[in-house]
Structure 1
Amino acid sequence: MFSTVLLLTGTSVVQASTPPVISGSARFTVLTPRVIRMEYAEGGRFEDAPSLVFATRTGAPAVDAKVSHEKGWLVIRTSDITLRYKEGTGVFTADNLGIVSSKAKTSFNWHPGQKDTANLGGTARTLDQVDGDRHAADNTPLDLGDGLLSREGWHVVDDTGSFVFGNEKLPWVHRRACEGCTDWTFFGYGHDYAAALQDFALLAGREPLPPRYAFGYWWSRYWNYSDSELRDVVADFVRYRIPLDVLVIDMDWHRTDGLSSVHPRDDINGQTMGWTGFTWNRALFPEPERLLQWLRGQGLKVTLNLHPASGVLPHEESYGRFMGDLKADPAKPLAFEAADPAYMAALFHAVLDPLQHMGVSFWWLDWQQWRESKALPGLSNTWWLNHVFFTHMQQQGEQRALIYHRWGGLGNHRYQIGFSGDSIISWGSLAFQPRFTATASNVLYGYWSHDLGGHTFRDESDPATRRIDPELYIRWMQFGAYSPIMRTHTTKNPDLRKEPWRFAPAQFDALRHTVLTRYTLLPYTYTMGRKAFDTGISLVRPMYYAWPEDEKAYRSSGQYMFGDDLLVAPVTAAADADGFAKQDTWLPSGKWFDVTRGRTREGGRIVGGRYRLDDVPVFARAGAIVPTNSDPTHSVANDDGARTIVVYPGKSQQTELYEDAGDDEGYRGTAFARTALATEWSKHAVRLRIAPRAGHYAGMPTTRRWSVAFMASAMPSNVTVDGQPVKRVDGDADLTPGTWRLEGRTLALQVALPVHDFANAQMVEVTWPNDAPDVDGLAGQMRDVREAVEWLKSHWTEFGGIPDELSEAAQADRLIDYHPERFAQEVAAFRARVSQLDQSLEKGGLPADMRAQFKARASRND
C-alpha cells in the first residue's frame, strides 16, 4: 500500500511509483504526464487495490510533476496538464477542482460535472438482434457508450464504487471498503489519441495477443452436427484447399434435455431447460475423445459452446465429482454462482478441465450477458466470467489464454476474444460492422469476432426471406478477411448454408480467394497484433487516430486502417445491374497505392471506384512493406515458414516482422523475435534490407525461404541479392531460390532469395532502365480489358467472333510472360490496341449500346 505523505508547502517532484499527493481527504496520483487519479475519501479511506478497470495503481516511471501551494490552492503541473484543487473545501466540485491543458493541440479547461459533448464512442455488449445500428425490436439505436477518446481532448473514468481485486492466486472480486468514496481518473491528451490509449493500456492492462491460430479461419454453424458430419466438413476444406484453423462446435455437442422452442420449460434453477450442458451427446458423438484426437491430428483447434447459467445439474455425468468437490448434498442442486470461488474451482476441476484435457482448446461462453451475480449484486456475470475463465487458462500454463465471449465493460479488453452475437442478416448490418469494430478500439477491445454473413433473418417465419444472398455473404466475408477474427456462423436454419463449395463457381472462387487473402496477410496481421499489445493501438482502428485534425477522418466511419499500412473500405452495398458496386474512399494526404487497381493515388481527397464481386477497396501507404505468407493454402498448423515481403511503390519505409512460438504466454516476457525490414527508393532503383533476426523463442527456425514482390514493376535491368546477380526465369518456370521473374498478370517483380541464416542480413537491389515505361495502373487496366472481353464473348454471338485486336489486348499479360525481353514493346502495343478498342468494335459491327457497356467494363479509371 502507499504510504501517506502530506505536502503543505514548497515545491517537489512526484514519481508515479512514489506516494501520491494528499491534501486532507483528497488524494491525487500522477500516473503519466497526461493522467491523474483523483480520490476523495473522508477519514483517508483511500483504495489501493486494483479495480476491475485499472489493473495497477502505479503508472509510468519517472514522471516529473511539480507540486506547489499557491494562495490556498494545491497545484500539480506536469509537462501536459495542470491540476488545481482548493484545499480544505471538501468533495470535488466545479468550484474547487479543475484541470487545464499545458501544451495539448486541443486545449481544454475541465471541471467536475462538465459534459463531454464530443466523445467518439466505445462498444456495446452485443449485436444480438441488431439490424444495422438499431435494435430490431423497437428500432432504437445501439448505444456504443463512451470510449476513452473525445474530440474535447479529455476523458474521465469514474471508478467510484467499482469492485476491486484481492491478492488470491486467481485474483478474486471484492467490494471496496468505501463504496461511496470518489475515485476518478482523468485523461488529458488533446488529439494525441495514441498517447491516451497507451496510457490506458499502462494502467488498465495490455490488450493480449491471441494465439496465432486465432488469426486464421474459423468455421462455425449452429447445427446438430454428428461426428461423421464434422469429419466430412473438415475433409471438404482439405478437398477444396481452403485453410482452416478453428472448428467451433455449437451447443448441440452436449445433451439438450427438455429444450423446446415450442413449449420451453424452466429447470430447477429457473433457466430454460436444455441450454446449459456439460455432458457429450453420445448419439451424435459416440466417442468424443476419438473425434477430438482426429481433429487435433488435422491441425485444428476446437472450441465448444457453453451456456452455464443453470449450473451443474443432476443429469450431468460430472455432477457427482462436482458436488463432491464442494462437499455438498447431491440431493440439493446448487444454483450457478460465478462470484463464488469454491463453486468456480469445482466447475473447472470436476467439469471443464477434464474436457480440455480431452482436446477442447478454449471455451465459447454464451448466454450470460443479461445476468448479474446473486452473491454480489451489481457484478456483471459477463465481465466476471471473462476474467475467471481467461485467468484460469493463463495459470494452467499449457497454452496461450483465450476466451470467446461478449463484451462485459471497461477493462474487458484484457480478455479477448469478443463474440458479437446474433446480428440480423442485412446490408445495413454489414455496413455498420466496420464502424462498430473500429470504434471498439477506443476502449482497447480490439478483437471482435462477428457472425460473418449475419446470424438470422429478421423474419425467420417467411420462407421468401430465409435464403442467403451470395453477394451479401461474399461482401461480408471480404470484410471478415480484414477483421480482427474471421469466423462464419448462422442460426439453426437448413437454408443458411455458408460452406464455400455450395455456391456457384464464380461465387466459390470469390469466397476461396477471400479466405486465402486472410492467410496471405497473416504474418502482417500477427505483427500488428503484437503492436496492439505493445502500444494499445488495435489492429482495426478509426481513421482519426492518425489524422485527428482532418474533419473527413471523423466522417469516414465505413473505412478503417488495418494495421499501420493498409486502409480498407469494405463494399457494403449491392452491385448495380452491370455487376459493379460503387464505393467512395477518403484517402488522407500523401500518396496511396490502390491495391485493386494497381496504381498510385494522390491523397487528400475522396476517390470513387466501381468494384467487381471479387474486388475489395484496399489502399497501401506509398512504399509500404507488408510481410505475407508465400503459400496461403497452408493453415497456421501447417505453416512451412516461407514468407514473401510485398513492397509497394513509393517512398522509403521501414517496418518489422514479429514472430513467437504462437501458442504460449512467453511473448509477455522475452520469448519472441523481430526482423527489421527497410527500403531505400531512388529514381530508378530500390534497395530492400532484411536485417538479422533479433530475439529468441522456443522452436525458432534457423533458416527461412524469403521472397520479395515489388508491385507495379516494369522490367528491371538488374536484380541482385547481396551484390550477386540473380537469374531471370520465364513466366512458365518455377521460381526457385536465387531466381526472379516479372509476372505479367500482376506486374509483380518476384525475387526468390537464396536460403539464408537468420543471423545474417540480406540485401535485395533492383534497378530499372532510365527509359522504362510507366506501368502505374497497367495491371488493373489489363485485367479490365481481359474481363471485358470475357463478358463480350458471352453477350455477343454474331458470326465472326471477337476482333483480333481485342483478343491480343486481352492477352497482354501472357505476351509479357512469353516475351519478357520485349516488355516495353508489349506495353506500348497493348496501349495502342486499347486506344483503338472502340473503333475495332464499331468496325466489327457491335451495336452502340454494347460498345458503351464494353467501354465501361474495359476502363474503370475514375
Structure 2
Amino acid sequence: MCTGSFRAFRKVMDKYRITVLTERLIRLEYSEDGLFNDEKTLSVFNRNFPVTAYIERDRDGLLEIETEALVLRYDRKPFTSQGLNITLKENGAVWNYGKLYAGGDNLFGTARTLDFTDGLVMLDDGIFSRSGYAVLDDSTTPLLVDGEVIERKSECRDIYFFGFGDDFYGGLREFYTLTGEVPMLPRYALGNWWSKFERYSEQSYLEMLKRFEEENVPLSVAVLDMDWHLTDVDPKYGNGWTGFTWNEELFPDYGRFLKTLHEKGLAVTLNLHPADGIRAFEAMYAEAARRVGIDPASQEAISFDLTDKAFRNAYFKDTLLPYEKKGVDFWWIDWQQGTKMADSDIDPLWLLNHYHFEDQKKRGKRAMIFSRFAGIGSHRYPVGFSGDTVSSWKSLHLQPFFTFTSSNAGYGWWSHDIGGHMQGDKDLERLVRWIQFGVFSPIMRLHSSNSPFFIKEPSRLEQPYRGIIDRFMRLRHRMIPYLYTMNHRSYAEGEPLIRPVYYEYPKDEKAYSVGEEYFFGSELLVGAICEKEDSVLKMSSVRCFIPDGRYYDIFTGRIYEKSKLRKLYRSIETIPVLIKSGGIVPLAGENDLDAFKNPEELEILIGAGASGSFTIYEDDGITEGYRDGKSVRTDISVDWDEAGKKMTVRISGAQGELSLIPTKRAFTLKIYGIDSVDGYEADKKSHTVKIALGKCDISDAQEIVIENVVLASNDWKKEVFDVIEYAWCELRYKEEVNHILNTCDDKDQFDEKLSQLDIPEIIKDAIREVY
C-alpha cells in the first residue's frame, strides 16, 4: 500500500500527470510538450489536499490506481475513451474519457444568465449525477498569477474527475476545498431589495421609500438602475448605456442622497454597464486619462480593458472609489457585452467579478458584488444576478428548480428579478406567488423594467394581494437570524441555503422527482407554488415529497406524517413551508426588522415530537471579523422524552464577543404539533403553544420543562369541511362530501366512499391531503 497527496503522489511520466487529491477527486493532465500548470486558475484555487491512501499497479500494460472509492485505468497515451476510464466502487459506474454522463443523468448545475428567457433554459452540468460521477474541464480556464488574470495558452488537457456518488454534502466540501470557499454576505443582503429600471430623482426615490415606511414593509438594499448617471450624451461619444457621472439634474447632491439612504437603514448599489470605457464627458476623465497615459485634451476614450493594470487603477481608484467613499456599498455589474476582453480570449465577466471583489477586499470591506455567473468558481464572488426574464408563469416555474440545481455547481446565492423583468401581463396572483418564492429564496429583490404599468410597490396594489405581500416581506426580515446562521454555514461548512431535497434523502427516488420543492436551510422544507389557482378549488398546488417523520406547516399548523409524494394545495395566502419534528428556527421579533442590527427579541419555532439542536450565529454583519472568530453563538436544544411525554428546551447563555448583540434579549417559544400541555394553552386550530420567556441577560442560560405533552393530529373532518366550503363548485358536490363526512366513523371508510362520488378529481385530491 502506498500513500499520496498533492505533493507526495503525483504520477508524472513525460506527457501525463495524474494527481490523487482525495479518494474521490482525481486530476488528469496530458501535455505533448510535457508542461503542466501548477498555478491557480479562475476555477481551481487549491490542490494541496491531505494525504490520501491509494494502490498503484501495472496491470496488463495499463497503469492502475485504486483508492477506497474508485479504480483508474490508463494506457499512458493521449487521453481517449478506450485508454482512460474510472470505475466507482460504490455502484460500478464507469466513466470513459470524453464521455460525459450515461443517459444524460447529470443533476445539472446552473447557467450564465436567464436574460430574455421565458421558461426553460439549457443548464450547464454540475458536479453530481445519478451515475455518481462528473467532470470539470479546466484546460482553458485563465490562470491567476500574483493577482493577475492571465490567458492560458498551453494545449494541455486538464480534467478533474468527481466521484462523489450520492454524498452531496461531502462532495460539496471537497469541491469548495478545490475551488475556494463561499464568503459570507453582509447581513443587510438578506433583507428585501428594492430595484426598478426607472428614471428616479432624489425626490421621487425618497417618496417611494416613504410609501414603504408607511406600509411598515422593511427594505435593506436600495438599488439604482442606470439612470443615476448621465444617459443623454452627445452622439459623438456614442450612446449613454455606459456612464460614471451622476446626473445632477435628478440628483443635485448625490452625497446628501446617499447619506439619507444610509440614515434610513439601506445599503446602496448602483448599476454599471462599463463596456464603452471612460469617455471625455465623464467627470473623472482628466484624472483617469492621465493615469493611463492619454492627454486629456485629446478627448480620446479610455478603452475598457481589465487586463491592463493602468486601466484598472483608473477604473477602481479614479472612477468608483470616490463614490464608495460617499456611500455606495457595492456595485451591480450588468455585463452583457460579449465574452472576450480586448485582444484576449478571457471572458470580461470573469475579470469584472474577480477584480471588483478583490478591490473591495483590499479596502478591508466584507466584499460583495452583484453580477452574472461566469463559470465554475463564481461562488467566490457573490451575489449572482440571473438577468432579465419575461414576467410569466413559465419563468416563475423555472426559478425554484434553477435555484436548487445551482447548488450542484456550488453557486448558492442567486438573486432573481422577483415578479419578472419585462413583457408579460398584469397578474397579481402571479406576483404574490413570485414574492412568496422570493421570500424563501437566497436573495429577495423586487425588480422590473421601466414600464409605468409594472407595479410592485405593495401600497399601490389592491387587497388581498397588498396585505399578503406586506406580510411576506415582513417575514423575510424576521427570518434574518435564521438566514444569517445559514449564511455562516455556507462559508464554514459548505452547506448552501437552498438544497435539493435529494441532498437529505439521496436513497429515495421520490426526492429526485420534485422540481419546485427544496430545503431552505437545515430546518425548513419549502414548496414554491408556480401555477395559477384552480377555478373550482380556488387553490393552487405544488408537488412535494414528504419524508418520513412528522412535519408541520408553519403557516397553517397542518401535520404531515409518513413518507409520501403528493400535491399540496394552498390558497393565495400561503405556500407550504414545513418544519420537521425537532426542527428549530429562530425569527426576529415582529417589530425587530432592522437588517443591520442583531435583534432584541427572538421567536423560536420548534417542531414537537423529536429532539433537536440549533446554534444561532451572529456577528457585526459588515466586516471581515467573522474570519477571526469575532462572533456570538447561542445554542438551543430540545430534548424529547417520548415515554414521559415531556420536552425540555434549553437556551444557553450567549458565548463569544457579547458586545455584538444586545445586552438583554427576550425569547418566545412557538411549538408546533401540540394538542395540549400542562400550564399553557394550545391553539387548537394551528396546533401550537406559545411560551413567552421574558427578557433576560444574554449571558444567562434558560431551561423550560414542558410536561404532559400530547401531540396533535389533524382534525381531518374539520379540514375536509374547510376544503369543500372554500371551493367554488356545485353545491351538490359539497352536500355529497358533507354527507359521507357526517356518516363515516374513520378515514378509511370515508376515503372509500369519497372514491365513489362523481365529483371533480381535484377536489378529491385536495381532500385527501388532510389525512
What is the TM-score of this pair, normalised by structure 2? 0.90
Q: C-alpha displacement at 1:694, in angstroms?
A: 4.1
Q: Which moved more, 1:693-702 or 1:421-430?
A: 693-702
Q: Which residue of 1 is the match for residue 290 of structure 2? A: 324
Asked if 2 retains the 8 angstrom alpha-carbon contact of 1:49 and 1:57, the reply is no
Q: C-alpha displacement at 1:250, in angstroms?
A: 0.8
Counterparts of 1:638 and 1:561 in 2: how far apart (Å)? 26
Give the RMSD, CA atoms, in angstroms.
3.1
SS in 2 for 1:202: helix
Counterparts of 1:188 and 1:390 in 2: how far apart (Å)? 31
Counterparts of 1:549 and 1:689 in 2: how far apart (Å)? 33
Counterparts of 2:133 and 2:564 in 1: how far apart (Å)? 29
Name the amino acid aligned to 2:770.
N
Counterparts of 1:633 and 1:781 in 2: how far apart (Å)? 38
Q: Which residue of 2 is the match for residue 215 of structure 1? A: 190
SS in 1 for 2:354: helix
SS in 1 for 2:528: coil
Counterparts of 2:563 and 2:616 in 1: how far apart (Å)? 29
Q: CA, structure 1 residues 709+369, in 2 after alignment: closer, same or farther (shift >3 Å)?
A: farther
Q: C-alpha displacement at 1:321, in angstroms?
A: 1.5
Q: Is 1:358 aligned with 2:319?
A: no
Asked if 1 retains the 8 angstrom alpha-carbon contact of 2:592 and 2:600, the reply is no
Out of 522, 532, 552, which is 1:574 matched to?
532
Name the amino acid aligned to 1:708.
L
Gap runs ≥5 in structure 1? 1-10, 134-141, 260-264, 459-464, 719-727, 729-740, 797-830, 836-852
Name the amino acid aligned to 2:473.
V
Counterparts of 1:179 and 1:280 in 2: how far apart (Å)? 44
Q: Which residue of 1 is the match for residue 737 of structure 2? A: none
Q: C-alpha displacement at 1:517, in angstroms?
A: 2.0
Counterparts of 1:15 and 1:700 in 2: how far apart (Å)? 43
SS in 2 for 1:714: strand
Asked if 1 retains the 8 angstrom alpha-carbon contact of 2:270 and 2:332, the reply is yes
Q: C-alpha displacement at 1:742, in angstroms?
A: 4.6
Q: Which residue of 1 is the match for residue 390 of structure 2? A: 424
Out of 383, 401, 414, which is 1:448 matched to?
414
Q: CA, structure 1 residues 13+614, in 2 after alignment: closer, same or farther (shift >3 Å)?
A: same
Identity of matched residues, %: 34
Q: Which residue of 2 is the match for residue 723 of structure 1? A: none
Aligned residue pair count: 742
SS in 2 for 1:671: coil
Give CA-to-partner distance per residue, 1:566-606, whole Å, 9 cap, x none: 11111111113353223332213333223344132124212
Counterparts of 2:724 and 2:546 in 1: how far apart (Å)? 28
Asked if 2 retains the 8 angstrom alpha-carbon contact of 1:455 and 1:489, the reply is yes
Q: Which residue of 2 is the match for residue 111 of structure 1? A: 96
Counterparts of 1:791 and 1:544 in 2: how far apart (Å)? 34
SS in 2 for 1:408: coil
Q: Which residue of 1 is the match for residue 372 of structure 2? A: 406
Q: Is 1:529 aligned with 2:518?
A: no
Q: C-alpha displacement at 1:550, in angstroms?
A: 2.5
Q: C-alpha displacement at 1:251, in angstroms?
A: 0.6
Asked if 1 retains the 8 angstrom alpha-carbon contact of 2:616 and 2:635, the reply is yes
Q: Which residue of 2 is the match for residue 462 of structure 1? A: none
SS in 1 for 2:259: helix
Q: Is 1:515 aligned with 2:473?
A: yes
Q: Which residue of 2 is the match for residue 53 of structure 1? A: 43
Counterparts of 2:550 and 2:122 in 1: how far apart (Å)? 36
Q: Which residue of 2 is the match for residue 777 of structure 1? A: 714
Counterparts of 1:424 and 1:513 in 2: how far apart (Å)? 26
Q: C-alpha displacement at 1:854, in angstroms?
A: 13
Q: Which residue of 1 is the match for residue 759 of structure 2? A: none
Q: C-alpha displacement at 1:84, in angstroms?
A: 3.0
Out of 546, 549, 562, which is 2:504 matched to?
546
Counterparts of 2:683 and 2:390 in 1: how far apart (Å)? 43
Asked if 2 retains the 8 angstrom alpha-carbon contact of 1:107 and 1:153, the reply is no
Name the amino acid aligned to 2:366.
R
Q: Which moved more, 1:472-481 or 1:63-72?
A: 63-72
Q: Which moved more, 1:41-50 or 1:278-287?
A: 41-50
SS in 1 for 2:608: coil
Counterparts of 2:324 and 2:723 in 1: how far apart (Å)? 50
SS in 2 for 1:705: strand
Counterparts of 2:683 and 2:550 in 1: how far apart (Å)? 24
Q: CA, structure 1 residues 422+632, in 2 after alignment: closer, same or farther (shift >3 Å)?
A: farther
Counterparts of 2:94 and 2:179 in 1: how far apart (Å)? 25
Q: CA, structure 1 residues 744+302, in 2 after alignment: closer, same or farther (shift >3 Å)?
A: farther
SS in 2 for 1:501: helix
Out of 676, 680, 702, which is 1:762 matched to?
702
Name the amino acid aligned to 2:600.
G
Q: Which residue of 2 is the match for residue 748 of structure 1? A: 688
User: Who wins on radius of gyration, i.e. which is larger?
Assistant: 1
Q: C-alpha displacement at 1:212, in angstroms?
A: 0.9
Counterparts of 1:194 and 1:211 in 2: how far apart (Å)? 24
Name the amino acid aligned to 1:624.
G
Out of 338, 359, 364, which is 1:370 matched to?
338
Asked if 2 retains the 8 angstrom alpha-carbon contact of 1:520 and 1:631, the reply is yes
Q: Which residue of 2 is the match for residue 392 of structure 1? A: 359
Counterparts of 1:584 and 1:638 in 2: how far apart (Å)? 37
- Mapping of 1:200-279 within 5 angstroms? 200-258=175-233, 268=237, 273-279=239-245
SS in 2 for 1:64: strand
Counterparts of 1:192 and 1:55 in 2: how far apart (Å)? 22
Counterparts of 2:85 and 2:697 in 1: how far apart (Å)? 58
Q: Is 1:172 aligned with 2:148?
A: yes
Q: CA, structure 1 residues 147+787, in 2 after alignment: closer, same or farther (shift >3 Å)?
A: closer
Q: CA, structure 1 residues 597+166, in 2 after alignment: closer, same or farther (shift >3 Å)?
A: same
Asked if 2 retains the 8 angstrom alpha-carbon contact of 1:516 and 1:632, the reply is no
Q: Which residue of 2 is the match for residue 160 of structure 1? A: 139
Out of 676, 688, 693, which is 2:635 matched to?
676
Q: Which residue of 2 is the match for residue 380 of structure 1? A: 347
Out of 74, 77, 101, which is 1:90 matched to?
77
Q: CA, structure 1 residues 35+143, in 2 after alignment: closer, same or farther (shift >3 Å)?
A: same
Counterparts of 1:791 and 1:143 in 2: how far apart (Å)? 38
Counterparts of 1:559 and 1:164 in 2: how far apart (Å)? 38
- Mapping of 1:683-702 within 5 angstroms? 683=642, 684-696=645-657, 699-702=660-663
Counterparts of 2:659 and 2:148 in 1: how far apart (Å)? 32
Name the amino acid aligned to 2:380.
R
Q: C-alpha displacement at 1:28, in angstroms?
A: 1.7
Q: CA, structure 1 residues 685+447, in 2 after alignment: closer, same or farther (shift >3 Å)?
A: same
Q: Is 1:128 aligned with 2:115?
A: yes
Q: CA, structure 1 residues 545+700, in 2 after alignment: closer, same or farther (shift >3 Å)?
A: same
Out of 30, 45, 52, which is 1:63 matched to?
52
Q: C-alpha displacement at 1:440, in angstroms?
A: 0.9
Q: C-alpha displacement at 1:384, in angstroms?
A: 1.7
Q: CA, structure 1 residues 70+540, in 2 after alignment: closer, same or farther (shift >3 Å)?
A: same
Q: Is 1:558 aligned with 2:558?
A: no
Give CA-to-partner distance per residue, 1:449-470, whole Å, 9 cap, x none: 1111111115xxxxxx4xx211
Q: CA, structure 1 residues 856+53, in 2 after alignment: closer, same or farther (shift >3 Å)?
A: closer
Name the amino acid aligned to 2:714.
G
Out of 428, 431, 446, which is 1:488 matched to?
446
Asked if 2 retains the 8 angstrom alpha-carbon contact of 1:406 and 1:421, the reply is yes
Q: Which moved more, 1:564-573 or 1:474-483?
A: 564-573
Counterparts of 2:132 and 2:69 in 1: how far apart (Å)? 12
- Mapping of 1:597-746 within 5 angstroms? 597-631=556-590, 634-683=593-642, 684-696=645-657, 699-718=660-679, 742=682, 746=686
Counterparts of 1:856 and 1:62 in 2: how far apart (Å)? 55
Name the amino acid aligned to 1:776.
S
Q: CA, structure 1 residues 669+581, in 2 after alignment: closer, same or farther (shift >3 Å)?
A: same
Out of 155, 158, 166, which is 1:183 matched to?
158
Q: C-alpha displacement at 1:855, in angstroms?
A: 13
Q: Is 1:100 aligned with 2:96?
A: no
Give CA-to-partner distance per residue, 1:465-507, whole Å, 9 cap, x none: 4xx2111100000000100000001101011111001111321
Asked if 1 retains the 8 angstrom alpha-carbon contact of 2:557 and 2:685, the reply is no
Counterparts of 1:857 and 1:248 in 2: how far apart (Å)? 41
SS in 1 for 2:195: strand
Gap runs ≥5 in structure 2? 732-740, 746-761
Q: C-alpha displacement at 1:743, in angstroms?
A: 5.3
Asked if 2 retains the 8 angstrom alpha-carbon contact of 1:560 and 1:568, the reply is yes
SS in 2 for 1:221: coil
Q: C-alpha displacement at 1:702, in angstroms?
A: 4.5
